[in-house]
Amino acid sequence: MTLEVPDRRRVRRADGPVIADVVVPPSKSIANRALICAALAEGESEIVGIAPGDDTSAMLDCLERLGVVIDVTERDQRLVATITGNAGVLPDGPISLQTRLAGTTSRFITALAALGAGPYVIDGAPPLRARPMAPLHNSLAALGARIEPGEEWGHLPVTVSGPLGGADAVMMPGNVSSQYVSALMMVAPYIRRGMRLGLSTELVSRPYVDITRSVMAAFGVDDVDVSERTIHVGESCYFGTDYTVEPDASSASYALAAAAVAGGAVSVKGLGYDALQGDAKFIDVLVSMGCTATVSAGDMVVMRRRDTPLRGIDINMADISDLVPTMAVVATQAVTPTRITGVGFIREKESDRLGDLAAELNKTGAQVVVEDDGLLIVPTDMLHGAVLDTHHDHRLGMAFGVLGLVVDGIEVNDPSVVSKSWPAFWEALDAIPARHS
């Protein structure tokens, strides 16, 4: 299967087309939004499908430290959280909130903390401290919160004291991270007169904002209007509800990409044509490159004959930017170049997802060029094994695992980084069977 040494994992090359039914974890993006809404709600909620990764674990820990009563159990091999909401009332501080490496959690929790009197100290691991938070901190300050940086404005650690309500209109750039927008949207119902958020630039990752609006509606807040440059949320409150989280489409991309690069057929269960997540559209991208696919209400399947070549494409991935590492790996197996655009902002994710990704893939002999807002991948037949660094980025680690299915000798440093979103990823990759042609 795979050979392991401490902090490094060698990926077994597939010796034929892959054939597998893959179960991916629940969406951490949806789960974390549902957890915020349930924590603020009046009454009890049950969330079925809590994502098992570090991000969601950090969210649960922070909410409990803010006085939210949470009971997590297992049912039918899924984690279920029963949550008694606080109706928007937070305990006074001082309270320390550790968000570890979780960017989404840090931003959502910072906005949530601004609803209480505080003080609340939000902090994370060193790589998270390096990530930008200024647009969110600026907006919360404009809304009346007291924001005290620990070292540098716009970074963690930060001390937050509320409540919000100093202004009902704020402005932030839309082309940095949709997480800032979603964080403000979810707390806005508890701001007097609600909130009108203006965007000074075009919104990136719009599907994630749509997910936020959908989850808010499921918990009873439907006075939300999202237009091209303005988002309005009316004053309201959430109510406890039962909510089921769909499988994670970002995680599904690695399973579907396995069929694209190695040939064969891979099915992802539970993710169908009614998926909330924009990343579910990755299946259409693979079809445009030469794969065939079927999508039903309950699953999606990608297939490729090994004698059918993959074609390179030009693609703007602004709305599915988390899939850039997956896409880059698939593009190395195409017969013509691929250009990815619209994703300059991902340089400040868990890693520099342009520079670090290109540098690691180029270790294998790939020809990946960093451009102003994306990547150019020129295929070559000279790929070879290499030791690849993950740069604290789970998406790089999982994408490199997919590459190892078709390039012999791929070894991944710090393989446990995948625990951020899919702790069982390597076991799932090992379980994809291969048969001789």
Residue-wise pLDDT tens digits, 65-93 = 999 999 999 998 899 999 999 999 999 99
Residue 30 clears pLDDT 50, i.e. is over it: yes
Nearest CA among 129, 131, 119 for reference residue 157: 129
Predicted confidence (pLDDT) per residue in 137-148, tens digit = 999 999 999 999
Share of the chain above pLDDT 90, in %: 87
Confidence of residue 434 (pLDDT cuts 50, 70, 90): low
Residue 129 clears pLDDT 60, i.e. is over it: yes
Predicted confidence (pLDDT) per residue in 89-125, tens digit = 999 999 999 999 999 999 999 999 999 999 999 999 9
Residues marked as catalytic: 322
The type of residue at 180 is Y
Instruction: Find the range with the poorest average confidence among 1-10, 313-322, 414-423.
Output: 1-10
Which of the 8 DSSP states describes residue 88?
Answer: T
Residue 437 clears pLDDT 50, i.e. is over it: no
CA pair distance 281, 248, nearest whole angstrom: 12
Angle at 216 between CA 236 and CA 53, to 5 degrees: 135
Residue 433 clears pLDDT 70, i.e. is over it: no
CA pair distance 384, 394, nearest whole angstrom: 22
The answer to whether the CB of 243 falls within 8 A of the CB of 47 is yes
Region 15-19: mean pLDDT is 91
* Predicted pLDDT of residue 4: 46
* Predicted pLDDT of residue 204: 81
Main-chain phi, psi angles of 61, to 5 degrees: -65, -45
Helix (H) and strand (E) counts in the chain = 13, 24
Q: Find out whether the peptide bond into 119 is cis, omega within 30 degrees of 0.
A: yes
* Predicted pLDDT of residue 77: 86
Nearest CA among 360, 340, 372 for reference residue 407: 360
Predicted confidence (pLDDT) per residue in 323-338, tens digit = 999 999 999 999 999 9
Region 405-415: mean pLDDT is 97
The answer to whether the CB of 237 falls within 8 A of the CB of 87 is yes
Q: Token digits for 380? A: 């070559």
Q: Token digits for 362? A: 């180029």
Name the average pLDDT for the chain: 94
Predicted confidence (pLDDT) per residue in 194-230, tens digit = 999 999 998 888 899 999 999 999 999 999 999 989 9
Q: Find out whether the peptide bond into 433 is cis, omega within 30 degrees of 0.
A: no
Cross-strand bridge partners of residue 205: none
* Predicted pLDDT of residue 174: 87
Q: Find out whether the peptide bond into 157 is cis, omega within 30 degrees of 0.
A: yes
* Predicted pLDDT of residue 259: 97
**Strands (DSSP E) along 93-132, which ranges?**
95-98, 120-123
* Predicted pLDDT of residue 1: 47
The answer to whether the CB of 127 falls within 8 A of the CB of 136 is no
* Predicted pLDDT of residue 196: 95
Share of the chain above pLDDT 70, in %: 97
* Predicted pLDDT of residue 177: 85
The type of residue at 351 is S
Confidence of residue 5 (pLDDT cuts 50, 70, 90): very low
CA pair distance 20, 432, nearest whole angstrom: 5
Residue 292 clears pLDDT 90, i.e. is over it: yes
pTM of the model: 0.91
Size (the chain), residues:
437
The answer to whether the CB of 324 falls within 8 A of the CB of 375 is yes
Confidence of residue 256 (pLDDT cuts 50, 70, 90): very high
CA pair distance 343, 324, nearest whole angstrom: 8
* Predicted pLDDT of residue 293: 97
Give the count of beta carbons closer than 10 Å to the beta carbon of residue 412: 27
Rg (C-alpha) for the chain, rounded Å, is 21
